[in-house]
Structure 1
Amino acid sequence: MLPLFGDEHRRKRAIDLGGSKSATSHAAILEQAKAQRFKREVLRRREESALKIQSWWRGTLEARCVKRHMRQLFLQDMTSLTGLRCLVLIGQDDDLLQQWSAAMSVDDCKWPSSCRLTLVHVHTDLLFGGAGSQDKAHWLTLLCRVSVLLITSVAKAPSSPPAVTQLQVLCKLLDPSYGARVLGLSDFDLPRVLTQHVMRYGLYQNVRSSIEAIVIDSKDDPAIPYLVKLVYLPFSNVPPLTELFTQYMHALTIHILTIPLLPYRMPLLSLSQFSAKLPLAYLQTLSSCTTDIVMQTSASAQINIIANLLHFTPPRYAILPLPSLTVYIQLLRALLSALPVHAFDPPLPDSTTPTWEEDGDDEHVAGDTTVSYSAQSLPVLDARTRKRLQTLPSGPHLNTLLKLTHQHPQLLPDMVALLVALHIVWPTAKDEVLGTLLLYGGGGLVREIYRDQVRPTPLGRDENIDTIKGTNNPSLQDWWPPLLLLADLYTHTLRTMGDDEFFSNSRTLLTLNELVPFSRTLFNIAFTLYWRDDQLQDTHVPGLNLRWTNVRERLTKCLQAIHARDSRRPFMPPNHWHVGTQIDMGSFIDAAVHEEQQTDEVSGPLVTSKGRQAYFSHLSPRLGILNNIPFAIPFETRVHIFRRSVQADRDKRGINHFSRVNRVEVSIRRGHIAQDGYDKLSGEDLRAPIAITFIDQFGEPEAGIDGGGVFKEFFTSLCKEVFDTDRGLWLETKKNEIYPNPHSYASEAYSLSWYQFIGRILGKALYEGILVEVAFAGFFLAKWLDKQSFLNDLASLDPDLYQGLVFLKNYTGNVEDLSLNFTVATEEFGVTKAVDLIPNGSNVAVTRENRLQYICLVSHYRLTTQIKLQSEAFFKGLSETIEPRWLRMFNQQELQILLGGVNSPIDLGDLRQHAQYGGLYSDQDPTIQAFWKVMESFDQEQRRAFLRFVTSCSRPPLL
């Protein structure tokens, strides 16, 4: 008999009063119950999934049956309304779409090619037959859906014969002129409705995909003419200046004008039609869309928009309405401002990609094609795109825009902003642009920008503007571009302007009275940007893709150029260049010396000015000021900082002139001072004290101990020898100022080692405060400071060449009649040869448009290129003893004073006040009293001779 209710199980189950087995059994029961629940859940889900699959499969089978039925109905009468319904319900079936398109069209291949674009052979009674029926609304709705299916199908294989047939039908559906001619005026709105629908569902996106899928140079592709027609047909179906028209223009810009090399994809007939139909006269409708266009496109797409606009728009400049021309310039400016720096300077696709750095060669002059790149990814430009983009900075194009700006002055602010944006993305085109602007109207543009766009603005009007408060103020963003362009223009014009021209009111572009407030505006802004650099790190100018550090650099260059003119021939009010009383100079000196001690030496003596400027201004605002706008601090204060920095360096190195530790002892033969100095001091640290022992003509050491006087005697004799122009290393200007010999033998290795040695010797003089009675040419001193020399510096080197270049600059005739090219003649050993200033320069004629570039290149060659190696060797030696940043606290004139003292009458009272006596003498000693009486009887020449005997220089020492 079977047990009931599980009694047998209960009888057999062991009972553990200890609780361990009971606990284990309880946990096992819970796990078993959990597993059973999970199993039941899995089974339930499987059943539900099976039901869903079965339902889907039944639905799929039913749909296939329905589609087969609809396909049969469609094939039985594909041109009827029922066939059209079936086509729409079936959906994206490329085969049926092709059959329907073929049924609605005649075999176009039988007709001449001249007739194919007109599409006059479409069966309009079939295609438009439903327009007159009672089912017109259904027919129109179905045509809208079919139009979308057609363009989507075309995008899959645009070059196939079925796609061409579908494009023919689609063009006919959207053509309002043909629809009106066939259907009459009563149904003229049918193409408009169809256009709105296909535009809403991505007409331009599909057209773009289709065009880009076709090989660029396949202009004979039969689909291209119809695709081009689909671009401009929508604008025939909507009134201009409406909201819908604006939407179409926006879509055209971001989908069609972004196609790379768009004009090169069209056959000539289609290109002419497209150019004529493109609604550029209504560009004003994009006035509210420029920001959206920039936000919705990539950098490459933005470049394509610019290139395509430059192909189609310039021929229409003269007939464009002013509002559209304004928006055109604004759109170009917005697109350029959105591009990364150097976007137009990357290498060609087939060139080797360089290492991109933020800062480039500081010796950039007109015509120099050396560029550097930002670390960010830059678009690669096709050669034809690059060629089209070159239209933008070209002289003829800019002159056309400037002419329009002259006719419509309200365009000037937008034009200025466009030019500034162009400089940012295309630095190598900057000189070409600035040269064109300066030649246009004889410099009137500079005056116009200053008087209309800078002087009345908050930036130009308030000399005490708080720049930091203004930097992030959006209300000032429209005023920065005019100031930046004006600074660039004025810096550029000073490069090719001599002092005689500058001080002639007809040639300064700005009057001297205007330069006073303008330079003070630049000074206040630049000083504040350096002083508060920590608040500006990695921030951008509102409305510009430009960092504040770049703004500071541009303003500083202009400021330095104006200050250089004032240094040679003062015209500014007293204390114009000084920061004023808001900075305590005593604390400034202490802080500057302390910050200088904290700096690490910048690698390499020839570091670029951009890198140095950013380095020092970031590290210390005081060093940034002293290395970029040092004239903001009085000269005497800077000399104190220089001497304190030298003393701090001595202390750091443990140098003590009164100790024999680390002293360099050298024996010098009387008749071989220069050669022995070169041989024995070339490997020594010249910062250390040097004790000289002279060897007489008999080979015996001269008696005495070098306490400084013997070294000064050696130093004076050494300078007299090494700077002797008869040695071949140096030449003299007509003002008896020396500069390195540009001859080829002076650039040989042995000569360069002498330049380096001489640089080390002069560094020792500056380090010890020894004055040197030698005057250097200003353009050579500029090399010490890593500054560029310009046309005005050529006047002292080669007056005849200078006058010739000035004549060329102001020549009013046809410049090409002068038969000049981009070469310069050099003569060595009686042989004259021509040196190209640019690649293939002998075949590039000098014209009115490029003469400023020629002048800059000739000046640069004579003042810089010919003595480049000599200057670098000299400065390498100089920087071994003197930190380059110490020298950059001074300009050329001040550096000459630092080297040789002030060429002024000797103040005997000041000399006596600072005289130091050796031994037990004092100022009250009878011998000293008698000495000063004798000195009082000396004239200036005798006093200079005495001073030369004591200090080795006839000029009064500094401070």
Structure 2
Amino acid sequence: MHPFTQEKRRKINLGGATSVASQTDILHSAKARRSEREEIRRRHESAICIQSHWRSFQKYRAVRQQLSRVFQEDVLGLNGMRALVLVGSDDLLLAQWSEAVVRAGDGWSLHYVNGPDSSHWIVLVRQLSILLLHSVANSPRATASFNHLRVLDSLLSPTSSARSLGERSEDLCTNITLYVTRRGLYPLLAKALNDIPAEDKNLPSIPLLVPLLTYPLRTFNPSHPESFLDAYTLLIQHVFSLPLLPNRLPLASLTHLSANLPLSAASVLSPSIPQLATALGVEAKVHIIANLAAFVPPRYPSLPPASLAALLHLMANIMGTLPTGALEPPSSTSNGKHVAISESDSDSDSEELTRASISASTRVPIPRLDERTLKRLQTLPTTAHISSLIRATQSDTSTRVALCSFFFALCTVWPSRADTVLSTVVVSTGGGLVRELYRGYVRSSPLGGDDSFATLLDAAHASSWPPLLFLTDLYTHSLLTMGDDEFFSGFSEPTRANAPRNPLTLDEITSLSRKFLNIAFTLFWREEQIGTQDAQVPGLSIKWDGVRRKLTRFLQAVHTRDSRRPFTPSGHWLVNERIDIDSFVEVAVGEEEQFVPPVPGPSRRVSKRSLAFLSPRLGVLNNIPFAIPFEARVNIFRSFVVNDKRNFRPDIRSFEEFRSRTHATVRRGHVAEDGFDKLADANLKRPIGITFIDQFGEEEMGIDGGGVFKEFLTDLSKEVFDSDRGLWLVNKKNELYPNHGSYATEAHSLNWYRFIGRILGKALYEGILVDVAFAGFFLAKWLGKQSFLDDLASLDPDLYQGLIFLKHYPGNPEDLSLNFTIADEEFGVARTIDLKPNGSNIPVTRDNKLEYILRVSHYRLTKQIKQQSDAFFEGLSDMIDPKWLRMFNQQELQVLLGGVNTPIDLDDLRRNTNYGGLYGPEEPTILAFWKVVEGFDAEQRRALLRFVTSVGRPPLLGFSGLVPKFCIRDAGGDENRLPTSSTCVNLLKLPRYQSERVLRRKLLQAVFSGAGFDLS
């Protein structure tokens, strides 16, 4: 600041900052001025636009007022009609015009139709008809709508138009009807109906509104087929998609609609079915199904086959596009108990299927439906409805494909009612539909050829899938209640008159199963190319994964019968020609390693369905294992165990492994008790060292190198599987299954089942054969499979015969006074158990007898021993991964556990025998031994093998797989001494007999007397 003034000096920045700031300010200022000018321009344009609109509105209002005056001056004249059309939707003017037309009567229209201005009148009246429809749609309960509808009735009704339009009525009525149909007749009428609550169904306008729905169908049929199809399609799409359509109509209108609905001409709908199935939302489709269920079933008997087929295809296609569960009542989870007969206690695949169904349905919102709609929908899977459909189609084979498509779609969209549908079809057709489907459609189908990959995906074969898939479901379901005597009755065996027979011969089943095996294997093997999780079957909404599951269930059921009593040719189930088995084994073992945890711990549990997506080879092994040779699967199993041992037993020196093993001391005569106390919680995947205490309380000498544990396992099996102990029962074939008594379900008993499962798992893990045989239905539990009527014969032959009698009882089952209960007796006290809620009050009838048979079989074979089986399998799973066991069926699992029940191959045994002491292959006593054994019969050879190894059956892959090898050791020269054995090491101690006769006598004496066991 200058010392003599208050003026500020201008500060000058020599660095140039002032110039920069000034430039920025200049830019901002210019931008602000541009924005201001743009805003002024925008406001100016907006003002001009507003002024223009206002002037237009004023002009429009003036024109409307002028047109209104013209209309008022000539309400029924052409000028008035032109003015009304130009004014457009003016409810007051429309009400005035329709009222005037109604008052004028038929003479008004006849005057113009027969006059020189006929063409002008037609143009105007068509446009006015559209205005009337819009007015009715917007205000269906308004008083004016009544007159609107009367005018429309006089123009569109073939009957009324004859009076109002004179001689030209047919052509004029068709002309007007075609015009309004193409410009929204059905959507507008549907809107009017939808806006009228069901409680107001006595509204006066409804009786006039409903006939308008059918007038186009009467006008166009049959002179205008294309227009008829369009009108029919629009009726279904817009009107039948209304909720509670029958409930919205008074009785007279409902009767009129039902009587005038041209169901007999429904065959014309065939080209529109795909459009109807895809054009609407889920809720609209559900209402179409419900409304068709109200109008169509009473007409089944009188419908032409082609029309009935079209209606069935229509409902099938619509249901096929609905999410699973869309027709289910909200609380219908309890109704799913019927499905639980065949799925409870099953493997995780069934649970995953349920979860997948729920998941799939939640991806598409399922509407909450009115109780009346639900009640109407529930008539579809009823026995009465299904039976009426079967009767209506039995005289014409052309409707069978449509019928199967309908049933298949119903079972798919409503899985909890699938059993009811299938059971009713089985009972109503007596197997005839199965036979007809196979011989008429599936046998000649191109699907299922050896090289079927391209064929499966070909859309040209879309029509072949519904009969094939429904046949799969139907026959698989029929097998649930088909005994072996009935199954094998269709082939080479004489049967008594009227005896139940398999609907297919065994030759047909052989051909069918091979066809299905080809398809199923392709779907597993080509998983990546087909994409079974996402891709759909051509022409259907079902995914390939669903097809694969259906075929797998069929193949497993048929293969079970074939395993029990072979009827297919050798190699029927194998796919050796399509894959390299050696490579398959190698890669399958490698793929399985990805499921092994990186550190010791429980194996990763993977369902059969998930395995199919993660690994095609493991998918095959766990779903259709019979497609791979048994020997290859055994090698895969052993490789799995080796890999598991490598994971749980790191590479350590044998001494360290010996020190880390679990040691247990057990007393002779108390092997089971001491074994349970010492090993119930032990890690059995580690080596187990056993020390026996003799009857004098002294430890027996020797180191357990594996043979002593085998002896322990053998003795343990003799004790724990003794039926006198209360844990196990035996059937007539001396096959074991868990006791179903209350004692067996106590906590202590369940712990024993768990322990026994772990011990048998240890035997499988170490490859030690156990001389014990289990009932097939119990072995099925090991594999996560369900048992049905065919297994009941091995448990309770009398009950089995009783159920077979009921199944084929020619009279009324109610005469037998049965209900859904079963009597259970224990310690002389009988109690009655309901097989379903309130079962004591539900009689067994012709319609539900198959369900009764299923529930009785399920209770006896599964429910009674569920806790015991679960505990046993829990223990078994601690040792053996469940997916390893699923590579085998019941018979193969028994072989894996106890060896092959086949004649002993002496050449194989001789090649795999070791010798000790003074003995060698050419020593005279050894030569005499083999000569003597060659003279033994089959039972004597089995007894010798049991004497030496504790198991009378050869190993499943021959004696090369016996661990340790069969061995014969010198036992001295005393010929008075009997041969002895050490079963723990598969050792026969044979004295040096000089005579074949003496050797034979002494050997048989030792083998059959039970003497001669040597602990040394």
Please name the residue that 2:528 is paired with.
Answer: 534
Deviation at 1:558, TM superposition (A): 1.4
Query: Alpha carbons of 1:317 and 1:645: their partners in 2 closer, same or farther (altered >3 Å)?
Result: same
Deviation at 1:629, TM superposition (A): 1.6
Report the residue type matching 1:628 in the other structure: N
Deviation at 1:553, TM superposition (A): 1.7
- Is residue 2:208 matched to residue 1:226? yes
Deviation at 1:811, TM superposition (A): 1.5
Following the alignment from structure 1 to structure 2, what is the Cα–Cα distance between the partners of residues 593 and 328?
A: 52
Q: Secondary structure at the match of 2:856?
A: helix
Deviation at 1:363, TM superposition (A): 4.1
| CA displacement, residues 339-394 of structure 1 (integer Å, 9 cap, x when unaligned) | 2334334635999999xxxx986749xxx998842432242343333332334333
- Give the percent of matched residue pairs that are identical in Structure 1 and Structure 2: 53
- Is residue 2:359 matched to residue 1:379? no
- Is residue 2:155 matched to residue 1:160? no
Q: Secondary structure at the match of 1:289?
A: helix
Q: Secondary structure at the match of 1:586?
A: helix
Question: Which residue, out of 417, 421, 438, partners 1:429?
Answer: 417
| CA displacement, residues 861-899 of structure 1 (integer Å, 9 cap, x when unaligned) | 111111111111110100001111111111111111111
Query: Alpha carbons of 1:943 and 1:186: their partners in 2 closer, same or farther (altered >3 Å)?
Result: closer
Report the residue type matching 1:414 in the other structure: A
Following the alignment from structure 2 to structure 1, what is the Cα–Cα distance between the partners of residues 258 and 924?
A: 101
Question: Which residue, out of 184, 206, 212, partners 1:202?
Answer: 184
Count, aligned residues: 916
Deviation at 1:688, TM superposition (A): 1.1
Q: Secondary structure at the match of 2:665?
A: strand
Superposition TM-score, scaled by structure 2 size: 0.83
Please name the residue that 2:479 is paired with.
Answer: 494
Please name the residue that 2:463 is paired with.
Answer: 478
Whether the 8 Å CA contact 1:627–1:888 is kept in 2: the answer is: yes
Query: Alpha carbons of 1:370 and 1:846: their partners in 2 closer, same or farther (altered >3 Å)?
Result: farther
Structure 1 window deviating more from structure 2 (530-539 vs 76-85): it is 76-85
Following the alignment from structure 2 to structure 1, what is the Cα–Cα distance between the partners of residues 807 and 536?
A: 38
Question: Which residue, out of 252, 265, 269, partners 1:269?
Answer: 252
Please name the residue that 2:965 is paired with.
Answer: none
Whether the 8 Å CA contact 1:104–1:126 is kept in 2: the answer is: yes
Question: Which residue, out of 567, 581, 584, partners 1:585?
Answer: 581
| Equivalences for residues 342-491 of structure 1 within 5 A | 342-345=325-328, 347-348=330-331, 363=346, 372-375=357-360, 376-380=363-367, 381-459=369-447, 462=449, 464=450, 466-491=451-476
Query: Alpha carbons of 1:567 and 1:19: their partners in 2 closer, same or farther (altered >3 Å)?
Result: closer
Please name the residue that 1:653 is paired with.
Answer: 648
| Equivalences for residues 281-300 of structure 1 within 5 A | 281-300=264-283
Following the alignment from structure 1 to structure 2, what is the Cα–Cα distance between the partners of residues 698 and 953?
A: 29
Structure 1 window deviating more from structure 2 (444-453 vs 874-883): it is 444-453
Q: Secondary structure at the match of 1:826?
A: strand
Following the alignment from structure 1 to structure 2, what is the Cα–Cα distance between the partners of residues 349 and 97?
A: 50
Question: Which residue, out of 546, 549, 552, partners 1:553?
Answer: 549
Structure 1 window deviating more from structure 2 (677-686 vs 695-704): it is 695-704
Following the alignment from structure 2 to structure 1, what is the Cα–Cα distance between the partners of residues 79 and 229?
A: 37
Following the alignment from structure 1 to structure 2, what is the Cα–Cα distance between the partners of residues 58 and 350?
A: 66
Whether the 8 Å CA contact 1:789–1:863 is kept in 2: the answer is: yes
Please name the residue that 1:870 is paired with.
Answer: 868
Following the alignment from structure 2 to structure 1, what is the Cα–Cα distance between the partners of residues 322 and 772?
A: 51
Whether the 8 Å CA contact 2:343–2:786 is kept in 1: the answer is: no
Deviation at 1:651, TM superposition (A): 1.6
Deviation at 1:142, TM superposition (A): 3.0
Q: Secondary structure at the match of 1:261?
A: coil
Please name the residue that 1:5 is paired with.
Answer: none
Structure 1 window deviating more from structure 2 (803-812 vs 738-747): it is 738-747
| CA displacement, residues 706-743 of structure 1 (integer Å, 9 cap, x when unaligned) | 23333223222221221111121111111111111112
Question: Which residue, out of 505, 511, 514, partners 2:508?
Answer: 514
Following the alignment from structure 1 to structure 2, what is the Cα–Cα distance between the partners of residues 251 and 637?
A: 61
Following the alignment from structure 1 to structure 2, what is the Cα–Cα distance between the partners of residues 206 and 708?
A: 86
Following the alignment from structure 1 to structure 2, what is the Cα–Cα distance between the partners of residues 636 and 41?
A: 88
Superposition TM-score, scaled by structure 1 size: 0.88
Deviation at 1:493, TM superposition (A): 1.9
- Is residue 2:128 matched to residue 1:146? yes
Question: Which residue, out of 550, 564, 567, partners 2:563?
Answer: 567
Deviation at 1:790, TM superposition (A): 1.4
Whether the 8 Å CA contact 1:348–1:382 is kept in 2: the answer is: no
Following the alignment from structure 1 to structure 2, what is the Cα–Cα distance between the partners of residues 689 and 28?
A: 89
Q: Secondary structure at the match of 2:210?
A: helix
Whether the 8 Å CA contact 1:150–1:166 is kept in 2: the answer is: yes
Report the residue type matching 2:95 in the other structure: Q
Question: Which residue, out of 717, 728, 731, partners 1:730?
Answer: 728
Following the alignment from structure 1 to structure 2, what is the Cα–Cα distance between the partners of residues 797 and 917?
A: 45
Q: Secondary structure at the match of 2:737?
A: strand
Report the residue type matching 1:51 in the other structure: I
Q: Secondary structure at the match of 2:663?
A: strand
Structure 1 window deviating more from structure 2 (823-832 vs 488-497): it is 823-832
Deviation at 1:777, TM superposition (A): 0.6
Whether the 8 Å CA contact 2:763–2:770 is kept in 1: the answer is: yes
- Is residue 2:301 matched to residue 1:318? yes
Deviation at 1:134, TM superposition (A): 4.3
| CA displacement, residues 271-330 of structure 1 (integer Å, 9 cap, x when unaligned) | 000101112222222222112222321222222222222221222223323332332232
| CA displacement, residues 89-129 of structure 1 (integer Å, 9 cap, x when unaligned) | 332222333344444447xxxxxxxxxxxxxxx74445766
Structure 1 window deviating more from structure 2 (487-496 vs 18-27): it is 18-27
- Is residue 2:196 matched to residue 1:214? yes
Query: Alpha carbons of 1:721 and 1:218: their partners in 2 closer, same or farther (altered >3 Å)?
Result: farther
* Structure 1 residue runs without a partner (length 5+): 1-17, 107-121
Report the residue type matching 2:809 in the other structure: Y
Report the residue type matching 2:625 in the other structure: P
Question: Which residue, out of 46, 67, 73, partners 1:49?
Answer: 46
Structure 1 window deviating more from structure 2 (557-566 vs 484-493): it is 484-493
Question: Which residue, out of 803, 806, 827, partners 1:805?
Answer: 803
Following the alignment from structure 1 to structure 2, what is the Cα–Cα distance between the partners of residues 542 and 38?
A: 61
* Structure 2 residue runs without a partner (length 5+): 1-14, 491-499, 958-1016
Query: Alpha carbons of 1:86 and 1:878: their partners in 2 closer, same or farther (altered >3 Å)?
Result: same
Following the alignment from structure 2 to structure 1, what is the Cα–Cα distance between the partners of residues 914 and 577?
A: 34
Deviation at 1:30, TM superposition (A): 8.7
Please name the residue that 1:61 is paired with.
Answer: 58
Please name the residue that 1:111 is paired with.
Answer: none
Q: Secondary structure at the match of 1:458?
A: coil
Whether the 8 Å CA contact 1:348–1:383 is kept in 2: the answer is: no
Query: Alpha carbons of 1:214 and 1:362: their partners in 2 closer, same or farther (altered >3 Å)?
Result: farther
Following the alignment from structure 1 to structure 2, what is the Cα–Cα distance between the partners of residues 452 and 837?
A: 39
Deviation at 1:623, TM superposition (A): 1.3
Q: Secondary structure at the match of 2:823?
A: strand
Whether the 8 Å CA contact 2:110–2:166 is kept in 1: the answer is: no
| Equivalences for residues 110-121 of structure 1 within 5 A | none
Please name the residue that 1:790 is paired with.
Answer: 788
Following the alignment from structure 1 to structure 2, what is the Cα–Cα distance between the partners of residues 350 and 55?
A: 65
Please name the residue that 1:8 is paired with.
Answer: none
- Is residue 2:581 matched to residue 1:596? no
For the aligned residue pairs, the C-alpha RMSD in angstroms reads: 3.5
Please name the residue that 2:311 is paired with.
Answer: 328
Query: Alpha carbons of 1:488 and 1:925: their partners in 2 closer, same or farther (altered >3 Å)?
Result: same
Following the alignment from structure 2 to structure 1, what is the Cα–Cα distance between the partners of residues 183 and 939?
A: 95
Whether the 8 Å CA contact 1:531–1:621 is kept in 2: the answer is: yes
Please name the residue that 2:634 is paired with.
Answer: 639
Deviation at 1:766, TM superposition (A): 0.9
Following the alignment from structure 1 to structure 2, what is the Cα–Cα distance between the partners of residues 374 and 128?
A: 63
Q: Secondary structure at the match of 1:646?
A: helix
Following the alignment from structure 1 to structure 2, what is the Cα–Cα distance between the partners of residues 493 and 728?
A: 36
Query: Alpha carbons of 1:29 and 1:720: their partners in 2 closer, same or farther (altered >3 Å)?
Result: closer
Structure 1 window deviating more from structure 2 (812-821 vs 930-939): it is 930-939
